[in-house]
Structure 1
Amino acid sequence: MPQWGAGNSRAIEARMRKKMEKDRKQKELEEKRLDEYWKDDDKKAQAKIQRKKATNTKITQAQILQRLIEEKKKEMKDEKKKTENTNVHEMELEDNINHIIRDEMNNYDECINATGIDNIINSLGNVSFEKTKKVKAAYKKYEEENLPLVKEEYKNLKLSQYKQILWKKFKKSADNPMNQKD
Protein backbone atom coordinates (compact mmCIF):
# COMPACT_ATOMS: atom_id res chain seq x y z
CA MET A 1 0.00 0.00 0.00
CA PRO A 2 1.31 3.49 -0.80
CA GLN A 3 1.87 5.90 2.04
CA TRP A 4 -0.88 8.25 3.05
CA GLY A 5 -1.00 11.27 0.79
CA ALA A 6 1.42 9.82 -1.77
CA GLY A 7 -1.31 9.78 -4.42
CA ASN A 8 -1.91 7.52 -7.39
CA SER A 9 1.40 6.48 -8.97
CA ARG A 10 -0.10 6.19 -12.45
CA ALA A 11 -1.62 9.64 -12.27
CA ILE A 12 1.72 11.08 -11.15
CA GLU A 13 3.49 9.37 -14.07
CA ALA A 14 0.89 10.73 -16.50
CA ARG A 15 1.39 14.28 -15.18
CA MET A 16 5.16 13.91 -15.57
CA ARG A 17 4.78 12.70 -19.17
CA LYS A 18 2.53 15.64 -20.03
CA LYS A 19 4.99 18.09 -18.47
CA MET A 20 7.92 16.57 -20.40
CA GLU A 21 5.96 16.72 -23.67
CA LYS A 22 5.09 20.37 -23.03
CA ASP A 23 8.76 21.18 -22.31
CA ARG A 24 9.86 19.40 -25.49
CA LYS A 25 7.39 21.35 -27.65
CA GLN A 26 8.47 24.63 -26.05
CA LYS A 27 12.11 23.82 -26.72
CA GLU A 28 11.34 23.06 -30.40
CA LEU A 29 9.54 26.40 -30.79
CA GLU A 30 12.52 28.21 -29.26
CA GLU A 31 14.90 26.48 -31.68
CA LYS A 32 12.71 27.43 -34.66
CA ARG A 33 12.67 31.06 -33.53
CA LEU A 34 16.45 31.13 -33.21
CA ASP A 35 16.88 29.53 -36.64
CA GLU A 36 14.61 32.15 -38.20
CA TYR A 37 16.50 34.94 -36.46
CA TRP A 38 19.92 33.77 -37.62
CA LYS A 39 18.82 32.76 -41.11
CA ASP A 40 20.76 34.52 -43.87
CA ASP A 41 18.35 36.08 -46.37
CA ASP A 42 21.00 37.76 -48.49
CA LYS A 43 20.26 36.90 -52.13
CA LYS A 44 23.83 37.47 -53.26
CA ALA A 45 25.16 35.06 -50.64
CA GLN A 46 22.60 32.44 -51.70
CA ALA A 47 23.57 32.83 -55.36
CA LYS A 48 27.26 32.44 -54.47
CA ILE A 49 26.54 29.20 -52.61
CA GLN A 50 24.55 27.87 -55.58
CA ARG A 51 27.42 28.66 -57.99
CA LYS A 52 29.87 26.77 -55.78
CA LYS A 53 27.58 23.75 -55.76
CA ALA A 54 27.24 23.82 -59.56
CA THR A 55 31.00 23.95 -60.22
CA ASN A 56 31.72 21.07 -57.87
CA THR A 57 30.19 18.42 -60.17
CA LYS A 58 33.45 17.23 -61.74
CA ILE A 59 34.19 13.56 -61.24
CA THR A 60 37.73 12.43 -60.60
CA GLN A 61 39.35 9.31 -62.01
CA ALA A 62 39.30 7.74 -58.54
CA GLN A 63 35.54 8.27 -58.29
CA ILE A 64 35.03 6.72 -61.73
CA LEU A 65 37.12 3.69 -60.76
CA GLN A 66 35.22 3.37 -57.48
CA ARG A 67 31.88 3.31 -59.34
CA LEU A 68 33.17 0.70 -61.78
CA ILE A 69 34.37 -1.50 -58.92
CA GLU A 70 30.98 -1.22 -57.18
CA GLU A 71 29.15 -2.14 -60.41
CA LYS A 72 31.38 -5.19 -60.92
CA LYS A 73 30.72 -6.33 -57.35
CA LYS A 74 26.97 -6.02 -57.88
CA GLU A 75 27.18 -7.99 -61.14
CA MET A 76 29.19 -10.73 -59.45
CA LYS A 77 26.64 -10.97 -56.62
CA ASP A 78 23.80 -11.19 -59.15
CA GLU A 79 25.61 -13.95 -61.06
CA LYS A 80 26.21 -15.88 -57.84
CA LYS A 81 22.53 -15.68 -56.98
CA LYS A 82 21.57 -16.89 -60.45
CA THR A 83 23.99 -19.81 -60.35
CA GLU A 84 22.85 -20.77 -56.84
CA ASN A 85 19.27 -20.92 -58.06
CA THR A 86 20.10 -22.92 -61.17
CA ASN A 87 22.16 -25.57 -59.37
CA VAL A 88 19.07 -27.12 -57.83
CA HIS A 89 18.27 -30.41 -59.53
CA GLU A 90 14.63 -30.74 -60.27
CA MET A 91 13.59 -34.35 -60.49
CA GLU A 92 10.28 -35.41 -61.84
CA LEU A 93 7.97 -36.79 -59.26
CA GLU A 94 7.59 -40.45 -59.91
CA ASP A 95 4.56 -42.46 -59.02
CA ASN A 96 4.58 -44.66 -55.96
CA ILE A 97 5.89 -48.08 -56.98
CA ASN A 98 3.26 -49.83 -54.88
CA HIS A 99 0.46 -48.04 -56.71
CA ILE A 100 2.00 -48.84 -60.07
CA ILE A 101 2.32 -52.52 -59.21
CA ARG A 102 -1.27 -52.63 -57.94
CA ASP A 103 -2.57 -50.97 -61.11
CA GLU A 104 -0.56 -53.32 -63.31
CA MET A 105 -1.87 -56.31 -61.42
CA ASN A 106 -5.40 -55.01 -61.79
CA ASN A 107 -4.88 -54.59 -65.54
CA TYR A 108 -3.96 -58.25 -65.86
CA ASP A 109 -7.21 -59.41 -64.32
CA GLU A 110 -9.97 -60.35 -66.67
CA CYS A 111 -12.98 -58.08 -66.74
CA ILE A 112 -16.33 -59.56 -65.75
CA ASN A 113 -19.64 -58.04 -66.75
CA ALA A 114 -22.56 -59.87 -65.25
CA THR A 115 -25.83 -59.01 -63.55
CA GLY A 116 -27.53 -61.24 -61.04
CA ILE A 117 -25.97 -63.65 -58.59
CA ASP A 118 -26.21 -66.71 -60.82
CA ASN A 119 -24.50 -65.00 -63.76
CA ILE A 120 -21.73 -63.68 -61.51
CA ILE A 121 -21.05 -67.12 -60.03
CA ASN A 122 -20.99 -68.70 -63.48
CA SER A 123 -18.64 -66.07 -64.89
CA LEU A 124 -16.33 -66.30 -61.86
CA GLY A 125 -15.95 -69.99 -62.44
CA ASN A 126 -14.32 -69.26 -65.81
CA VAL A 127 -11.79 -66.71 -64.51
CA SER A 128 -8.29 -67.89 -63.82
CA PHE A 129 -6.82 -66.23 -60.76
CA GLU A 130 -3.72 -68.28 -61.28
CA LYS A 131 -2.28 -65.79 -63.79
CA THR A 132 -2.18 -62.92 -61.30
CA LYS A 133 -0.73 -65.18 -58.63
CA LYS A 134 1.89 -66.36 -61.12
CA VAL A 135 2.78 -62.76 -61.97
CA LYS A 136 3.21 -61.84 -58.31
CA ALA A 137 5.30 -64.91 -57.59
CA ALA A 138 7.40 -64.42 -60.72
CA TYR A 139 8.00 -60.76 -59.83
CA LYS A 140 9.12 -61.64 -56.30
CA LYS A 141 11.53 -64.23 -57.68
CA TYR A 142 12.78 -61.77 -60.32
CA GLU A 143 13.22 -59.07 -57.65
CA GLU A 144 15.24 -61.37 -55.38
CA GLU A 145 17.53 -62.37 -58.23
CA ASN A 146 18.07 -58.97 -59.83
CA LEU A 147 17.99 -56.51 -56.90
CA PRO A 148 21.72 -56.93 -56.13
CA LEU A 149 22.56 -56.42 -59.80
CA VAL A 150 20.49 -53.24 -60.00
CA LYS A 151 22.06 -51.96 -56.77
CA GLU A 152 25.51 -52.40 -58.30
CA GLU A 153 24.47 -50.72 -61.54
CA TYR A 154 22.67 -47.75 -59.91
CA LYS A 155 24.33 -46.65 -56.69
CA ASN A 156 22.96 -44.34 -54.01
CA LEU A 157 19.27 -44.76 -54.79
CA LYS A 158 16.38 -45.43 -52.46
CA LEU A 159 14.86 -48.89 -52.25
CA SER A 160 11.64 -47.69 -53.88
CA GLN A 161 13.66 -46.39 -56.83
CA TYR A 162 15.42 -49.75 -57.17
CA LYS A 163 12.03 -51.49 -57.12
CA GLN A 164 10.69 -49.13 -59.74
CA ILE A 165 13.60 -49.92 -62.05
CA LEU A 166 13.10 -53.64 -61.43
CA TRP A 167 9.39 -53.42 -62.24
CA LYS A 168 10.09 -51.65 -65.54
CA LYS A 169 12.59 -54.35 -66.46
CA PHE A 170 10.23 -57.11 -65.31
CA LYS A 171 7.42 -55.89 -67.57
CA LYS A 172 9.73 -56.44 -70.57
CA SER A 173 11.35 -59.59 -69.19
CA ALA A 174 10.80 -63.11 -70.48
CA ASP A 175 10.22 -64.16 -66.85
CA ASN A 176 6.93 -62.26 -66.82
CA PRO A 177 4.05 -64.75 -67.29
CA MET A 178 2.08 -62.13 -69.21
CA ASN A 179 4.83 -61.95 -71.82
CA GLN A 180 4.90 -65.73 -72.25
CA LYS A 181 2.71 -67.14 -74.96
CA ASP A 182 0.32 -69.88 -73.85
Structure 2
Amino acid sequence: MSSKKFGINTKSAEARARKDAVKESSNRDKQQKLEDEYWRDDDKQIQKKQQRKDERDQKDHEKLQRKQELAKLVEQEEAALTASKAKAKSDLAPKKVTQAQIQQRQAAAATSTIPNRNIEFFDYHLSIINLILEPKRTTIDDIPLEENINRLQIDGASARNVDDAVHVLRSTEASVDTHPEKRMKAAYETFENENLPKLKQEHPTLRLSQLKQLLKKEWMKSPDNPFNKPTKAYNELGNSKQYNLPEEKDSDNDD
Protein backbone atom coordinates (compact mmCIF):
# COMPACT_ATOMS: atom_id res chain seq x y z
CA MET A 1 0.00 0.00 0.00
CA SER A 2 1.15 3.46 -0.80
CA SER A 3 1.84 6.17 1.75
CA LYS A 4 -0.73 8.55 0.21
CA LYS A 5 -3.54 6.23 1.14
CA PHE A 6 -2.60 5.94 4.78
CA GLY A 7 -0.69 9.29 5.26
CA ILE A 8 -1.84 12.98 5.87
CA ASN A 9 -1.56 15.66 3.18
CA THR A 10 0.05 18.59 5.00
CA LYS A 11 -0.68 21.20 2.36
CA SER A 12 -4.36 20.54 2.30
CA ALA A 13 -4.43 20.48 6.06
CA GLU A 14 -2.77 23.91 6.25
CA ALA A 15 -5.14 25.33 3.69
CA ARG A 16 -8.11 23.96 5.56
CA ALA A 17 -6.77 25.41 8.82
CA ARG A 18 -6.34 28.84 7.26
CA LYS A 19 -9.82 28.71 5.88
CA ASP A 20 -11.26 27.78 9.24
CA ALA A 21 -9.34 30.65 10.92
CA VAL A 22 -10.69 33.19 8.46
CA LYS A 23 -14.17 31.87 8.92
CA GLU A 24 -13.87 32.02 12.69
CA SER A 25 -12.54 35.59 12.56
CA SER A 26 -15.41 36.61 10.33
CA ASN A 27 -17.87 35.03 12.71
CA ARG A 28 -16.33 36.88 15.65
CA ASP A 29 -16.61 40.23 13.85
CA LYS A 30 -20.21 39.59 13.02
CA GLN A 31 -20.94 38.63 16.60
CA GLN A 32 -19.22 41.77 17.90
CA LYS A 33 -21.24 43.93 15.55
CA LEU A 34 -24.41 42.29 16.69
CA GLU A 35 -23.54 42.88 20.31
CA ASP A 36 -22.59 46.52 19.65
CA GLU A 37 -25.80 47.05 17.77
CA TYR A 38 -27.75 45.50 20.59
CA TRP A 39 -26.21 47.69 23.27
CA ARG A 40 -26.18 50.90 21.19
CA ASP A 41 -28.38 53.69 22.71
CA ASP A 42 -30.87 55.03 20.20
CA ASP A 43 -32.47 57.61 22.59
CA LYS A 44 -32.45 60.99 20.75
CA GLN A 45 -32.92 63.03 23.97
CA ILE A 46 -29.78 61.51 25.43
CA GLN A 47 -27.90 62.34 22.25
CA LYS A 48 -29.06 65.98 22.42
CA LYS A 49 -28.03 66.21 26.05
CA GLN A 50 -24.63 64.86 25.24
CA GLN A 51 -24.29 67.33 22.36
CA ARG A 52 -25.23 70.26 24.60
CA LYS A 53 -22.76 69.06 27.20
CA ASP A 54 -20.02 68.91 24.61
CA GLU A 55 -20.87 72.43 23.45
CA ARG A 56 -20.77 73.76 27.02
CA ASP A 57 -17.43 72.12 27.60
CA GLN A 58 -16.13 73.72 24.42
CA LYS A 59 -17.38 77.17 25.47
CA ASP A 60 -15.90 76.83 28.94
CA HIS A 61 -12.62 75.85 27.41
CA GLU A 62 -12.66 78.88 25.09
CA LYS A 63 -13.62 81.20 27.96
CA LEU A 64 -10.76 79.88 30.06
CA GLN A 65 -8.38 80.49 27.20
CA ARG A 66 -9.59 84.10 26.83
CA LYS A 67 -9.16 84.72 30.56
CA GLN A 68 -5.66 83.39 30.43
CA GLU A 69 -4.86 85.61 27.45
CA LEU A 70 -6.30 88.69 29.20
CA ALA A 71 -4.36 87.95 32.37
CA LYS A 72 -1.21 87.66 30.31
CA LEU A 73 -1.90 91.01 28.62
CA VAL A 74 -2.54 92.68 32.00
CA GLU A 75 0.73 91.35 33.34
CA GLN A 76 2.56 92.69 30.30
CA GLU A 77 0.94 96.13 30.65
CA GLU A 78 1.72 96.30 34.38
CA ALA A 79 5.31 95.37 33.70
CA ALA A 80 5.59 98.06 31.01
CA LEU A 81 3.98 100.66 33.32
CA THR A 82 6.31 99.80 36.17
CA ALA A 83 9.28 100.12 33.87
CA SER A 84 8.11 103.52 32.59
CA LYS A 85 7.54 104.80 36.15
CA ALA A 86 10.97 103.67 37.19
CA LYS A 87 12.48 105.40 34.17
CA ALA A 88 10.58 108.64 34.87
CA LYS A 89 11.60 108.56 38.52
CA SER A 90 15.21 108.09 37.57
CA ASP A 91 14.96 111.01 35.12
CA LEU A 92 13.43 113.29 37.78
CA ALA A 93 15.94 112.34 40.44
CA PRO A 94 18.46 115.10 41.11
CA LYS A 95 21.75 114.47 39.50
CA LYS A 96 24.78 114.24 41.69
CA VAL A 97 26.73 117.48 41.81
CA THR A 98 30.45 117.35 42.29
CA GLN A 99 32.37 119.57 44.68
CA ALA A 100 34.01 121.34 41.77
CA GLN A 101 30.63 122.27 40.31
CA ILE A 102 29.49 123.65 43.68
CA GLN A 103 32.58 125.82 43.97
CA GLN A 104 32.13 127.03 40.41
CA ARG A 105 28.52 128.09 41.08
CA GLN A 106 29.49 129.87 44.30
CA ALA A 107 32.18 131.80 42.48
CA ALA A 108 29.75 132.79 39.73
CA ALA A 109 27.17 133.97 42.28
CA ALA A 110 29.78 136.03 44.13
CA THR A 111 30.91 137.84 40.99
CA SER A 112 27.43 138.32 39.52
CA THR A 113 25.87 141.82 39.54
CA ILE A 114 22.27 140.49 39.32
CA PRO A 115 20.45 140.97 42.69
CA ASN A 116 19.00 138.02 44.50
CA ARG A 117 15.28 138.00 43.74
CA ASN A 118 14.43 135.90 46.77
CA ILE A 119 16.02 138.42 49.14
CA GLU A 120 14.21 141.31 47.46
CA PHE A 121 10.90 139.46 47.67
CA PHE A 122 11.41 138.78 51.38
CA ASP A 123 12.36 142.41 52.12
CA TYR A 124 9.31 143.68 50.23
CA HIS A 125 6.88 141.56 52.22
CA LEU A 126 8.65 142.37 55.47
CA SER A 127 8.17 146.09 54.83
CA ILE A 128 4.44 145.53 54.21
CA ILE A 129 4.10 143.61 57.49
CA ASN A 130 5.88 146.40 59.37
CA LEU A 131 3.49 148.96 57.90
CA ILE A 132 0.49 146.89 59.02
CA LEU A 133 1.80 146.34 62.53
CA GLU A 134 3.01 149.93 63.00
CA PRO A 135 0.53 151.98 65.14
CA LYS A 136 -1.30 154.63 63.16
CA ARG A 137 -0.23 158.17 63.95
CA THR A 138 -3.02 160.71 64.21
CA THR A 139 -2.25 164.13 62.79
CA ILE A 140 -4.17 167.37 63.00
CA ASP A 141 -5.41 166.93 59.44
CA ASP A 142 -7.03 163.61 60.38
CA ILE A 143 -9.24 165.15 63.13
CA PRO A 144 -12.66 166.15 61.72
CA LEU A 145 -13.69 169.73 62.34
CA GLU A 146 -16.92 170.27 64.27
CA GLU A 147 -19.56 172.64 63.00
CA ASN A 148 -19.72 176.04 64.64
CA ILE A 149 -23.04 175.94 66.48
CA ASN A 150 -22.76 179.61 67.43
CA ARG A 151 -23.50 180.57 63.84
CA LEU A 152 -26.80 179.71 62.14
CA GLN A 153 -27.27 179.88 58.40
CA ILE A 154 -30.67 179.44 56.70
CA ASP A 155 -31.08 179.78 52.93
CA GLY A 156 -27.95 181.93 52.62
CA ALA A 157 -28.81 184.25 55.56
CA SER A 158 -26.62 183.90 58.62
CA ALA A 159 -27.38 184.67 62.27
CA ARG A 160 -24.90 185.04 65.11
CA ASN A 161 -27.35 185.62 67.97
CA VAL A 162 -30.98 185.00 68.94
CA ASP A 163 -32.36 188.22 67.47
CA ASP A 164 -30.73 187.57 64.12
CA ALA A 165 -32.08 184.01 64.11
CA VAL A 166 -35.66 185.20 64.80
CA HIS A 167 -35.35 187.76 62.01
CA VAL A 168 -34.09 185.13 59.57
CA LEU A 169 -36.87 182.68 60.47
CA ARG A 170 -39.58 185.34 60.09
CA SER A 171 -38.22 186.40 56.74
CA THR A 172 -38.36 182.81 55.47
CA GLU A 173 -41.98 182.33 56.58
CA ALA A 174 -43.09 184.63 53.80
CA SER A 175 -42.02 182.02 51.22
CA VAL A 176 -43.60 179.11 53.13
CA ASP A 177 -47.10 178.02 52.14
CA THR A 178 -49.08 177.56 55.39
CA HIS A 179 -52.37 176.46 53.77
CA PRO A 180 -51.64 174.15 50.78
CA GLU A 181 -54.95 172.32 51.26
CA LYS A 182 -56.91 175.37 50.12
CA ARG A 183 -55.30 175.21 46.68
CA MET A 184 -55.29 171.40 46.46
CA LYS A 185 -58.57 170.83 44.57
CA ALA A 186 -58.09 173.58 42.00
CA ALA A 187 -54.46 172.59 41.36
CA TYR A 188 -55.41 168.93 40.84
CA GLU A 189 -58.23 169.80 38.44
CA THR A 190 -55.84 171.91 36.38
CA PHE A 191 -53.25 169.10 36.43
CA GLU A 192 -55.89 166.57 35.37
CA ASN A 193 -57.16 168.68 32.48
CA GLU A 194 -53.62 169.11 31.17
CA ASN A 195 -52.30 165.55 31.58
CA LEU A 196 -55.29 163.21 31.23
CA PRO A 197 -55.51 163.59 27.41
CA LYS A 198 -51.80 162.74 27.16
CA LEU A 199 -52.29 159.57 29.19
CA LYS A 200 -55.22 158.54 26.96
CA GLN A 201 -52.99 158.83 23.91
CA GLU A 202 -50.13 156.93 25.57
CA HIS A 203 -52.39 154.17 26.94
CA PRO A 204 -55.40 153.81 24.63
CA THR A 205 -56.34 150.36 25.97
CA LEU A 206 -56.71 151.43 29.61
CA ARG A 207 -59.99 152.33 31.24
CA LEU A 208 -60.68 155.76 32.67
CA SER A 209 -60.28 154.55 36.26
CA GLN A 210 -56.87 153.07 35.41
CA LEU A 211 -55.83 156.28 33.69
CA LYS A 212 -56.81 158.31 36.75
CA GLN A 213 -54.78 155.99 38.96
CA LEU A 214 -51.73 156.69 36.81
CA LEU A 215 -52.57 160.38 36.94
CA LYS A 216 -52.66 160.32 40.76
CA LYS A 217 -49.24 158.64 40.87
CA GLU A 218 -47.79 161.39 38.68
CA TRP A 219 -49.59 164.02 40.77
CA MET A 220 -47.88 162.79 43.94
CA LYS A 221 -44.49 163.52 42.33
CA SER A 222 -45.49 166.62 40.39
CA PRO A 223 -44.04 170.04 41.33
CA ASP A 224 -47.56 171.45 40.77
CA ASN A 225 -48.73 169.62 43.88
CA PRO A 226 -48.93 172.18 46.72
CA PHE A 227 -47.81 169.57 49.24
CA ASN A 228 -44.55 169.11 47.34
CA LYS A 229 -43.67 172.74 48.12
CA PRO A 230 -42.30 174.07 51.44
CA THR A 231 -45.14 174.07 53.97
CA LYS A 232 -45.48 174.93 57.60
CA ALA A 233 -46.34 171.88 59.69
CA TYR A 234 -49.69 172.09 61.42
CA ASN A 235 -48.49 170.02 64.35
CA GLU A 236 -46.53 173.07 65.45
CA LEU A 237 -49.92 174.69 66.13
CA GLY A 238 -51.27 171.57 67.80
CA ASN A 239 -53.64 170.86 64.91
CA SER A 240 -52.48 167.88 62.85
CA LYS A 241 -54.55 167.02 59.76
CA GLN A 242 -54.20 164.80 56.73
CA TYR A 243 -55.32 166.00 53.33
CA ASN A 244 -56.19 163.65 50.49
CA LEU A 245 -56.89 164.16 46.84
CA PRO A 246 -60.46 165.11 45.92
CA GLU A 247 -62.61 162.04 45.52
CA GLU A 248 -63.43 161.11 41.97
CA LYS A 249 -66.09 158.82 40.69
CA ASP A 250 -64.97 155.98 38.43
CA SER A 251 -66.26 156.43 34.94
CA ASP A 252 -65.13 153.25 33.21
CA ASN A 253 -67.81 153.67 30.57
CA ASP A 254 -66.41 157.04 29.48
CA ASP A 255 -63.97 157.17 26.63
Same fold (TM over 0.5): no
TM-score (norm 2): 0.20
Identify which of structures 1 and 2 has the higher relative contact order when contacts are C-alpha pairs closer than 8 Å and 6+ apart. Answer: 1
Q: Larger C-alpha radius of gyration, 1 or 2?
A: 2
With normalisation by structure 1, the TM-score equals 0.28
